[in-house]
Amino acid sequence: MRSSTKKTKIKAVIFDWDGTLVDSLRDHYNAHKETVELANSQGIPAKFPYHTFEEWKKDFEETPFHKMYSEKYGLPYEKHSKLIYDTFANHLKKANTQTFPFTKAVLDALHGNLKLIVITSRPQNTLLKDSLRLKIHSYFDHLIGTPKRPDTLILSKEDHINLALKRAGLKPNEVVMVGDVRSDFHSAKKAHPDMPVLLVPWGFERLDQLHEIGKSNIVSSPEDLVRRLLAMAHGK
C-alpha cells in the first residue's frame, strides 16, 4: 500500500557563503598565512607549516576558527583573539573575492521560488559590501554575518542557523541548508535533526571528505543543486 505521507514543501534555502557561493579558499589561505606572519613579527611564537597553497589545500579540514589557530598554528586564540580576528578580517575585507562562474545562474533560478538566506562567520559589514560589489545582494532575503567582536567567532554555526530561522519565521523542516564542508551538515543536524542538508563539491573540502556524510546529500553540479531545491520546493 502506498504511503499517503506528504513531504513538507521547502520555503527557503540557507547558504553558506565561503566555498558555496564565493570562490575564496585561496583568500583564506593568504589570511591565515598573514596572521601567523604578523604574530611572528611581534615576537609571538607561531608557525604556519605550509609552503604553498596546494600543500595547505591538501591538508585542509574545516575546523572551528579558534581551534585551528590554537592547534594547527600554535597561536592560542584565547590569548591573541584581537590580533587574529583583526588581521584575518581585514585581509578578507581587502581581498577581491569573486563568485563562482555559475553562482548568479543558480541564484537566478531559485530567486522568486524560495527565500534565500546567507550565513557566514565573516564580519557583517564585509558580507554586505561584498554582496553589493558582486551584484548579488538583491537575491537575498537575509544576509547574516558576524558582528565585529572577536569573541563572536567562537559562536557556533548552529547559532547562525537558528538566527536565520527566526528572521525568516520558518520551521527547520521548511528550510534547506546548503554548504560545502562536513561541519555544515553536522551543525545543521545538531541544531535541528529534521533540517535537510545538501553539500556542494566545489568548495573547501574534497569530494572524498564529503562522502563521509553520504552520497545522497551531495549534489553533482550547480544544475543538480537547482533541480533538487526546486523539487523540494514542490514537496518532491
> Looking at the structure, do residues 229 and 143 belong to the same domain, yes or no?
yes
The domain of 90 spans 25-94
In a domain, 171, yes or no: yes
Alpha-carbon distance 154 to 133, whole Å?
28
Give the per-residue pLDDT at 150: 52
**Using CA atoms, how far apart are residues 141 and 164, in angstroms rounded to an integer?**
10
- Residue identified by cell 591538508 is 59
* Claim to verify: residue 110 and residue 212 sit in the same structural domain: yes
Task: Show the low-confidence residues of the chain (pLDDT under 70).
Answer: 1-6, 148-155
The pLDDT assigned to 216 comes to 95
Helix, strand, coil share of the chain (percent; to 5): 50, 15, 35
* pLDDT, position 154: 54
pLDDT at 121: 85
Looking at the chain, the whole-number percentage of residues with pLDDT higher than 90 is: 78
CB 180, CB 19: distance < 8 Å: yes
Regarding whether 226 and 118 lie in a shared domain, the answer is yes
Burial of 2 (0-12, 13-18, 19+ CB in 10 A): exposed
Whose grid coordinates read 513531504?
A: 7
Residue 7 domain flag = no
Domain with residue 187: its CATH number is 3.40.50.1000
> pLDDT tens digit string along 26-81?
999 999 999 999 999 999 999 999 999 999 999 888 777 778 899 999 999 889 98
Task: Look at residues 66, 94, 122 and tell me which one is the last residue of a structural domain.
Answer: 94
Question: What is the per-residue pLDDT for 122?
Answer: 85
Domains of the chain: total? 2
Dist CA 10 CA 230 (whole Å): 9
The amino acid that residue 119 corresponds to is I
- pLDDT confidence of residue 71: 92
- Residue 234 to residue 98: CA distance in whole angstroms: 31
pLDDT of residue 3: 45
Judgement on whether residues 16 and 53 belong to the same structural domain of the protein: no
